[in-house]
Chain A
C-alpha cells in the first residue's frame, strides 16, 4: 500500500492504495467518478478512459494510480467548471455527437485538450486527433461536426476560454 495525494477536479484527495491499482479504477471505484469508462482490456486503444493529467489528455487505464501522486487530474465530471455544460459538451448535444455515450467522456477529454492546441481545426485535423478514441455508434460524422462547432463557439467566446 502506498499513500497518494492528488487533486481531482479541483478537490484534494489523500488515499491509501495498492501499488497495482490502475488510475482508472482509482477514479471509478475509490472516488466514484464513473464517467471515465473502460472499453478495452490491456491494449489501451479505445480511449474511453481518457482524462487530463496536468492538462494533457492521457488514457487512465495506462497509468497506475500511484503514478498520479502529486498531480492534477480532470475527469469528464470536472470538464465544466460551473456545473453546466461547457461549449464542447453543448456542441456535442447540439450536433448529436453521441449515441450510446460510452466513448463520449473520453472523446470530450481528448478534444478539450486538442482544441487548446488547435483552435481552428479542419475536418482532417479533427479526424487525426480522434484516432485515440474508438466510437462504434456515430460513424464519427457528427463528432467531427460537434468539435468544429465547439471550436467556433470557443473562438467566439474568447478570451473567456472554457474548453
Chain B
C-alpha cells in the first residue's frame, strides 16, 4: 500500500491530497449506521398508511402480537399520552406559520400515503416485516387535496382541520415590514411594469423531485438508567436532534447523546430535518430498556423524504430595449405536502427560494411574494439547492425570454445586469459579501466562445442538426449566518471546532457537524497541517458525536468550507499563540506569535532561525512538563473556537451547456458542460471538483429523469428506483470546470463554503440550451421535468402552428 500522505514542507492548502477517509471506504471497512452492532438490538418496522387521507377507525394488533418473536407494537393511540407532540421550539423556525400538531405515529387520521401508523418491534427483521403485514388497520377513506392552488381556495377541504386553512405560510419578501410599505412597493413596481418597453410574464412549474442519498435513513437507540439515551441517527445535525429528543421525550438533556455515524451515505439536506421516526425509536428503546434499530427501506425513503422543488412561480420581468432589467415580480405558490417534519415543515425551502430568487442580477425594484399550501402528500424535505432550484429555473428561463424578445444574446443580457460591485444587498435583502461576478462570467464566456458556437450552430442547422447553447448562474450561500439561520430555523449559524494537541505532537479535531461524504477528514487535516507545519497524516478528525464535540448546527448550507474550517483555523491560531508565548520564554527572546514560523515540524524564530524547537518537543513540554512556565501560564493545549463572520457570505458560479436535440424524438444529448466557479481559496481541488461534479449531475438528474408522481387519489407511484429514475453514468456528461476565484475577505483562510446551492443553476442552463437548439421552432419551455416526450410535443405543436 502506498500512502499518499507525504512528509516534508508542503503548503497543504490547495494540495490535491487523496482523501484519508477513502482507505477504509474502499476496503469495506466504513461504519455506516446499519453496520453498528449493539448486542441484543431489536428490529423495528413501520406500518405505513395505504391512503393519502383517511380516518383510522381501529387497529387490530391481535394476530401480529401473537407472532413468535414480536416484542411490542405501538400505535398513535398507545403513545399519544406518553410523548409530547410536535412542534417543539427547538425544531420550529421563528417564522409565523400554521405549524401542524402531530405525534410520531398517526393519531386519528392519516394525511399522506406512507405516513407511519404503527411500529412493530421484533427480535428479527424478517419477523418484524411478517408481523407488520398482520397489523390490520381499518380506514375510512377521506377526500384528498393534492393541488396547491386548489388547496388554497376557500372551499378546499383542510388537511389539518384545527388551522381552518391549508395556507401554512405566506410572506412578502420585498418592500418592507408594514402593510403600508408593501402596498407602496407594489405600487412602484406596478408603475415600472406599466411603462416598461419590454415585459415578459410566464408561469413556471417545477416538479416534485429532490435528493436521494444512497444510504437511506436509520436510527439505533440504546437506553440504560445510568447514561440515559444513546441515539445513533443518520443525521446532518446531531446536536439539534439531541435537544429535540430531550424536549419531546422529557429526558434531561445531559442524559441524551446523539451520534451521527462517522460514515454516512450522503445527506444533501435529506438528513437535516428532525424526523418523527427518531422519536418513536428512542421512545421504544427507553420503554423496553433494550436497543432498538430501524433501517429505512428505499421504498419508505422514496415515500417520505427527498421530495422538494414542487413550486409554481408566476414570474414577470420588466426591461428596457437595451436589455437593462427594470423590475421583477413573482407570485410563488409551493406545494408543502403535509408539513409534519421538524426544522423545515416544508415551507422553509420555498421561503429561502423566494429570498434567493433575484440571483446575481441588479434589479432596481421587485415585488416577490409566496404562498405555501398544505396538501395530502409527503412533506417537502430539504434537498441541495434548497428551495431555489425552482425559483432560479424561473428567473434563468425568463431572462432568456426577455433576451429573445429584445433580440440580444441571453449571455450579453446577463453580463449587462450582473452585480458588478460587491458587497451588495439584493432586493430581497440578501447580503452578498464579496467576489467578482464579472470575472467568473468572462472566464466562462471565453471558454464557451459564443461567436464561434453560433457559426457552428448555423452550419449544423443546414444539415438538419439542432444544437443549442444555454447559460445560467447562481449566487449561493457560503454557510448560513445566524442572521438568517436564527429566524429561518431557530438555530445559530456559527461554526465550532475543538483542536486538541497531544503529547506526541499529533492533533485531534472535534466538530459538531455531521458530514456525509464531503471529505471533512482530509480538508480539515490540510488546514491544521498548514497552520502547524505538520503532516495531515498526524491529524484525526471526529465529527457528529454530541458526547465529544462542541455544539454545531450541523452539516448544512455549505458550512464546512466557510464556518467549520474557519473555526478550526481560529482554534489552531489560539494554540499557536500559547505555544509561541511559552517558546519565546524558553528561548529567552522577546518575541510574539507573528515572529515565529510553523514549518516542517518545527517552530522557528524568524529573527534568528537557529532559535527554534521541534513542534513535538514544545507541544510535549507544554502538555507534560508544565514547570518553569511564564507567569500566568498553565499547561495543556486544547482550544475551542467559534467562528461567525460579521455578515453572511456567498460563493458564485456560472454554467454553460451545449446540447444537440433530435427533433424526431425530442431526445437530447449534452455535448458539453462548462462551469466557472468562485469558491474562494481552495483547500483541496480534488474535493471541490468532486462537489461540483456531483451537484451538477444531481441538477441534471433532477431536471430530466427524476419525478415523484402521485395519482389522483394521492397514491405515490414512484417509490422504487424502477419508477423514480436516477441518472446512470451512461446518461450524464463529463464536466469541464474552471476556477475564477476571489479569496473571501471574511474568513481566516479566504475560503468559501461551496456545494449546497450548486444545482440551482442547472435546470435553467439546460433548458435554455434545449430552447436555443429549438430556436427555429421558437419553443420556450416553462415546465419541468425536461423530458424528450414533452420536447417532442412542443416541436409538433410548433410545426402545426
Contact: A123 with B212, CB < 8 Å? Answer: no
Contact: A130 with B266, CB < 8 Å? Answer: no
Contact: A45 with B722, CB < 8 Å? Answer: yes
Among listed A52-60, A64-72, A133-141, A154-162, interface-contacting one: A133-141
Q: Which residues of A contact B720 (CB under 8 A)?
A: 40-43, 45
Interface status of B1 (Cβ within 8 A of chain A): yes
Contact indicator per residue, chain A 81-119, by CB within 8 Å of chain B (1) or not (0)? 000110001101111101111111100100000000000
A103 to B30, CA, bound (A): 11
Contact: B298 with A137, CB < 8 Å? Answer: no
Interface centre among A80, A126, A127, A133 (most CB of B within 10 A): A127
Contact: B298 with A98, CB < 8 Å? Answer: no
Q: Which residues of A contact B298 (CB under 8 A)?
A: 39-41, 43, 46
**Which residues of B (680-695) have their CB < 8 Å from a CB of A?**
686-687, 689-690, 693-695
A94 to B31, CA, bound (A): 22
Interface status of A76 (Cβ within 8 A of chain B): yes
Contact: B729 with A130, CB < 8 Å? Answer: yes
**Which residues of B (196-221) have their CB < 8 Å from a CB of A?**
211-216
Contact: A142 with B690, CB < 8 Å? Answer: yes
Interface centre among A33, A130, A139 (most CB of B within 10 A): A139
Q: Which residues of B contact A136 (CB under 8 A)?
A: 211-214, 266, 268, 694, 698, 726
Contact: A18 with B126, CB < 8 Å? Answer: yes
Q: Which residues of A contact B735 (CB under 8 A)?
A: 139, 141
Contact: A85 with B1, CB < 8 Å? Answer: yes
Contact: B690 with A138, CB < 8 Å? Answer: yes
Contact of B214 among A20, A96, A134 (CB under 8 A): A134
Contact: A142 with B693, CB < 8 Å? Answer: yes
Interface status of A151 (Cβ within 8 A of chain B): no
Q: Report if A100-B697 is in contact (Cβ < 8 Å); known contacts: A85-B27, A137-B690.
A: no
Distance between A60 CB and nearest chain B CB, rounded to angstroms: 13
**Which residues of B (164-223) have their CB < 8 Å from a CB of A?**
211-216
Q: Which residue of A lies closest to B29 (CB)?
A: A35
Q: Report if A96-B728 is in contact (Cβ < 8 Å); known contacts: A35-B29, A102-B265, A123-B734.
A: no
Q: Which residues of B contact A63 (CB under 8 A)?
A: none
Q: Which residues of B contact A75 (CB under 8 A)?
A: 28
Q: Which residue of B lies closest to A93 (CB)?
A: B22
Among listed B435-443, B476-484, B516-524, interface-contacting one: B516-524
Distance between B718 CB and nearest chain A CB, rounded to angstroms: 12
Interface status of B628 (Cβ within 8 A of chain A): no
Q: Which residues of A contact B687 (CB under 8 A)?
A: 96
Interface centre among B2, B35, B693, B695 (most CB of A within 10 A): B693
Interface status of B625 (Cβ within 8 A of chain A): no
Contact: A131 with B728, CB < 8 Å? Answer: yes
A98 to B265, CA, bound (A): 11
Q: Report if A101-B265 is in contact (Cβ < 8 Å); known contacts: A85-B23, A96-B18, A137-B517.
A: yes
Contact: B28 with A34, CB < 8 Å? Answer: yes
Contact of A93 among B23, B265, B734 (CB under 8 A): B23
Number of A-B contacts (CB under 8 A): 192
Q: Which residues of A contact B690 (CB under 8 A)?
A: 96, 99, 137-139, 142
Contact indicator per residue, chain B 660-703, by CB within 8 Å of chain A (1) or not (0)? 00000000000000000000000000110110011111100000
Interface status of A38 (Cβ within 8 A of chain B): yes
Q: Report if A93-B18 is in contact (Cβ < 8 Å); known contacts: A136-B694, A140-B729.
A: yes
Contact of A100 among B31, B214, B686, B695 (CB under 8 A): B214
Contact: A92 with B693, CB < 8 Å? Answer: no
Contact: A101 with B18, CB < 8 Å? Answer: no
Interface centre among B211, B518, B728 (most CB of A within 10 A): B728
Interface status of A143 (Cβ within 8 A of chain B): yes
Contact of B4 among A76, A93, A103 (CB under 8 A): A93
Q: Which residues of B contact A102 (CB under 8 A)?
A: 30, 32, 213-215, 265-266, 517
A130 to B516, CA, bound (A): 22
Q: Which residues of A contact B446 (CB under 8 A)?
A: none
Contact: A98 with B25, CB < 8 Å? Answer: yes
Q: Which residue of A lies closest to B687 (CB)?
A: A96
A95 to B721, CA, bound (A): 28
Interface status of B453 (Cβ within 8 A of chain A): no
Q: Which residues of A contact B25 (CB under 8 A)?
A: 98, 101, 104
Contact: A100 with B693, CB < 8 Å? Answer: no
Interface status of B297 (Cβ within 8 A of chain A): yes
Which range contains the number of A residues in contact with the other chain? 35 or more
Q: Which residues of B contact A140 (CB under 8 A)?
A: 693, 697, 729, 732
Contact: B697 with A37, CB < 8 Å? Answer: no
Q: Which residues of A contact B693 (CB under 8 A)?
A: 138-142
**Which residues of B (739-770) have their CB < 8 Å from a CB of A?**
none
Interface status of A77 (Cβ within 8 A of chain B): yes
Interface status of B730 (Cβ within 8 A of chain A): yes
Interface status of B19 (Cβ within 8 A of chain A): yes
Distance between B671 CB and nearest chain A CB, rounded to angstroms: 14
Distance between B308 CB and nearest chain A CB, rounded to angstroms: 14
Q: Which residues of B contact A48 (CB under 8 A)?
A: 214
Q: Which residues of A contact B335 (CB under 8 A)?
A: none
Distance between B728 CB and nearest chain A CB, rounded to angstroms: 5
Contact: B726 with A100, CB < 8 Å? Answer: no
Distance between B43 CB and nearest chain A CB, rounded to angstroms: 11
Q: Report if A131-B689 is in contact (Cβ < 8 Å); known contacts: A94-B18, A104-B25.
A: no
Interface status of A144 (Cβ within 8 A of chain B): yes
Contact: A100 with B734, CB < 8 Å? Answer: no
Q: Which residues of A contact B21 (CB under 8 A)?
A: 101
Contact: B30 with A35, CB < 8 Å? Answer: yes
A49 to B1, CA, bound (A): 25
A66 to B352, CA, bound (A): 52
Q: Report if A134-B1 is in contact (Cβ < 8 Å); known contacts: A39-B298, A140-B697.
A: no
A127 to B698, CA, bound (A): 16
Interface status of B385 (Cβ within 8 A of chain A): no
Interface status of B263 (Cβ within 8 A of chain A): yes
Q: Which residues of A contact B26 (CB under 8 A)?
A: 76, 85, 89, 92-93, 98, 101, 104-105, 108
Interface status of B34 (Cβ within 8 A of chain A): yes
A100 to B520, CA, bound (A): 11
Contact: B694 with A76, CB < 8 Å? Answer: no
Q: Which residues of A contact B491 (CB under 8 A)?
A: none
Interface status of A79 (Cβ within 8 A of chain B): yes
Q: Which residues of B contact A131 (CB under 8 A)?
A: 728-730
Distance between B701 CB and nearest chain A CB, rounded to angstroms: 9
Q: Which residues of A contact B215 (CB under 8 A)?
A: 37, 39, 100, 102
Interface centre among B30, B268, B518, B687 (most CB of A within 10 A): B30
Q: Report if A134-B2 is in contact (Cβ < 8 Å); known contacts: A93-B18, A93-B23.
A: no
Distance between B68 CB and nearest chain A CB, rounded to angstroms: 14
Q: Report if A43-B28 is in contact (Cβ < 8 Å); known contacts: A102-B265, A139-B732.
A: no
Distance between B725 CB and nearest chain A CB, rounded to angstroms: 9
Q: Which residues of B contact A89 (CB under 8 A)?
A: 26-27
Q: Report if A137-B266 is in contact (Cβ < 8 Å); known contacts: A34-B35, A39-B298, A99-B694.
A: yes
A32 to B735, CA, bound (A): 38
Contact: A34 with B265, CB < 8 Å? Answer: no
Q: Which residue of A lies closest to B267 (CB)?
A: A100
Q: Report if A80-B27 is in contact (Cβ < 8 Å); known contacts: A93-B4, A94-B18, A100-B214.
A: yes
Contact indicator per residue, chain B 2-34, by CB within 8 Å of chain A (1) or not (0)? 101000000000000011011101111111101
Q: List 19 A-B contacts (CB under 8 A).
A: A18-B126, A39-B298, A42-B720, A43-B720, A48-B214, A85-B27, A93-B22, A94-B18, A96-B18, A98-B517, A101-B21, A101-B26, A101-B265, A103-B265, A134-B728, A136-B211, A136-B268, A138-B697, A139-B696
> Could you list which residues of chain A lie within 8 angstroms of chain B, going by C-beta atoms?
18, 20-21, 28, 32-43, 45-46, 48, 75-77, 79-80, 84-85, 89-90, 92-96, 98-105, 108, 123-124, 126-128, 130-131, 133-144
Given contacts A77-B27, A127-B729, A130-B728, list 7 more A-B pairs with CB under 8 A.
A41-B299, A85-B1, A99-B518, A101-B22, A136-B214, A136-B268, A139-B690
Closest 4 pairs between A and B when the two form their complex, measured CB to CB: A35-B28, A100-B517, A102-B265, A139-B697
